[in-house]
Structure 1
Amino acid sequence: MIAELTKTYLLMVIEAKLVNEKFLQIDGNKIRYLESGNSDKTLVLIHGLGASAERWEQVMPIFAEHFRVVIPDLIGFGYSDKPLADYTIDFFSDFLGKFMQTANIELPYLIGSSLGGQISAEYTAANQNDVDKLILVSPSGVMKQSTPALDAYIMAALYPNEQNAKNAFELMEGSGESVDPKIVSSFIERMQMPNAKLAFMSTILGLKNAEIITKKLQAISTQTMLIWGSVDPVIPINHADDFIQSLSDCRFIRMDGCGHTPYVQAPRLFSEKVLDFLNVK
C-alpha cells in the first residue's frame, strides 16, 4: 500500500514538473497559460468556447516530447481575466497577437479548436508570415444556424449545474459514451466565476454578427490541415467543404466516430495525424 502511494506521489511530482502554470499581463488583464516542453519550435493550442487550457491535457504531453507547447486560457475564459468588453473575433485575434508577442513566441505551429479554430484562421489570414503551419479542428466561422448540441451547451453555460453540463458534453461528444466527470465539474466551476457568463454570451453574439470566414480563408497561403469528427453534432462535418474549397493548401482529416473534440476522444490518433503533418517522425 505504501509503495503504491509513493508511486502515485512520484507520478504527481513528475507531472507537476512537466507542465508549468504561468501568467502574463495583456492590456492590464491577467492571462493564464500552461507551458511544457523545451524545444526551440513552439506549438500553440487555442481552445474553444467556454473551455480552458485543460481541454488539451491529453495531447499536451505527447506534443511536449517534440515542441515547446503553450496553451493560453483565452481572455474571458478559463482562469484568465474576464473584462467587460465586446468579445468579437477581431478582439480575440488581436488578443492572440499580443499573447504571442508577450510570451516571446515566433513563427509557431498553431492549432485551434472550434471558436479557437476561427480565431486561429483569422489571425493567420492577417499575419501570413507569423504562422509556420495551421491546424483547424472543427472550426466555427461558416455555420450561422444553431444545433441542438450547441443549444444545450449554451444552456449549460447560462445555468451551470451537473445535469445541464453532463447533458451538453454527452451531446457534444456524439459517441453515446459517458463523459469524464472532471470535464463536467471544471466547466461548472469556470462558468460560476465572475463575468464568465457575460463573456460567453458576448462571444456568442460576436460570432452571430461576424462575417462568414470564407473570404479570409482564401487569403491564407499557410499550409493548413483541417480535422473534423465524423459525428460532430455541434458543427456538423458537412461544413468542412467550405473550408476545403476556400483554403489554397489544405489537408483534410476525417476522424471517424469522433464528435466535436477528437483530441479528447481519440488523443493518440489525433496526435499521430498532427505530428505527421508537422513532419515529426
Structure 2
Amino acid sequence: MLIATSVPQTWIWNGFPICYVTEGDHGPAVLLVHGFGASWGHWRKNIPELAKYCRVFALDLIGFGDSAKPTPNQKISYTFETWGQQIADFCREIVQDKAFLVGNSIGCIAIMQAAVTAPDIVQEVALLNCSLRLLHIRKRSEMPWYRNYGASLVQELLKYSWFNQLFFNLLATPQTVKNVLLQAYKRDEAVTDDLIKILLKPAQDQGAVEVFAAFTRYSQGPLPEDLLPQLPCSAIILWGADDPWEPVELGEEFNHYSTVKKFIRLEGVGHCPQDEAPELVNPILLDWMISRKTY
C-alpha cells in the first residue's frame, strides 16, 4: 500500500498559517477534509492512489493538525461556519477549480457547509461516516436523562481552564488515544503507532487545549439533516457499518434526501473507513469522480 510522503505547505488564511498538502497533476480536483482531532495525515493511505487520476488536496482545518490554533475570540470561533468559509476560500485561492469534496466525521459537516454557502467551489460531495452530532442541543431531548446530564455537566466544566487542562492531559496520552481508536476502528491492526503519533503530535501545540474545549462545548450550528436538503450538488455516502459512535441505521435515514445518490455500507469497518479500509474506499471514490459508471 502506498503511503503519502507529501511535503506540507503553508497557506495564510485571515492572517493564520494553514497546513495543506497536494499531489497529482491531472484530472479532477478533490479536497479531503479530516474529522475531529485529526489532520491531513488521516488521508495518507488515500492520497497516493487518488493522485494517480486526480489533483488531490488535503488541508488541516484551523485548530487542528499543523494549522494555527488561535485562542477563540471575536476574530475566530471554532464552528462549522468558520470551517466552511476556510474550505471555500481554499478552493478559490489554492485549488482554483470546482472540487469534489470528501469528508470524514465532522469534516462531512464542514464540507456540506462550504458547499451550501459557496456553490461555485463544489462538484459533488462524499460523506464518510458523517457526524450525526448526537450531543447537539436540539437532540438532547431524545437522549436518556443520565446521558444528557453527563454531557451537560462536562460542557459546563469545560468553561474552566483548570478543568480543560486536566481533562485534556488525561486524554492526550498514547494509551488513551490507542484505546479510543480501538473502540472506533473495527480492525485492530489498523491502529498503528504511526497513527497514534499523527493524532498526538498536534496536542502539544500551543492553543490545542483551548480548541479542544471550545469544540467540545459547541452544541449549536448545523446538523447534517439541515444541510443535506440544501446541497447545490449530489452526494454519496460511505458508512463503516461497525461505527460505535455514529450508528449506521441512523445514517441510512439520509437516503431519503433527494441530494443523496448512493448510500454504501462498508461491512466490518468502523468510524474512519478511509484509514481503516482504504482498499475499499479508494476505488469507490475514484469510480465516483472518474468513471461515474456506478453513480
Short-chain TM bin: 0.7 to 0.9
If the length of structure 1 is used for normalisation, what is the TM-score?
A: 0.85
Q: Which residue of 2 aligns with 1:280?
A: 291
1:219 aligns with 2:210: no
Q: Which residue of 1 aligns with 2:158?
A: none
Report the CA distance shift for 1:32/1:132 in structure 2 as closer, same or farther (over 3 A). Answer: same
- The 5 A counterparts of 1:1-281 are 16=5, 19-85=6-72, 86-144=77-135, 159-177=171-189, 179-206=191-218, 208-280=219-291
SS of residue paired to 2:286: helix
Cα distance, 1:261 vs. partner?
0.8
Q: Which residue of 1 aligns with 2:159?
A: none
Gap runs ≥5 in structure 1: 1-10
Cα distance, 1:51 vs. partner?
0.4
Matches of 1:50 and 1:227, distance apart in 2: 20
Code of the aligned partner of 2:192: D
Report the CA distance shift for 1:261/1:157 in structure 2 as closer, same or farther (over 3 A). Answer: farther
Q: % of aligned pairs identical? A: 24
SS of residue paired to 1:268: helix
User: Does the 8 A contact of 2:92 with 2:121 survive in 1?
Assistant: no
RMSD after superposition: 2.6
SS of residue paired to 1:278: helix
Cα distance, 1:142 vs. partner?
4.6
User: Does the 8 A contact of 1:157 with 1:200 survive in 2?
Assistant: no
Deviations 1:176-227 (A, max 9, x none): 4461111112322211211112112212222x22243313211114121100
If the length of structure 2 is used for normalisation, what is the TM-score?
A: 0.81
Cα distance, 1:84 vs. partner?
1.6
Code of the aligned partner of 1:224: A
Cα distance, 1:49 vs. partner?
0.4
Matches of 2:260 and 2:34, distance apart in 1: 23
User: Does the 8 A contact of 2:80 with 2:222 survive in 1?
Assistant: no
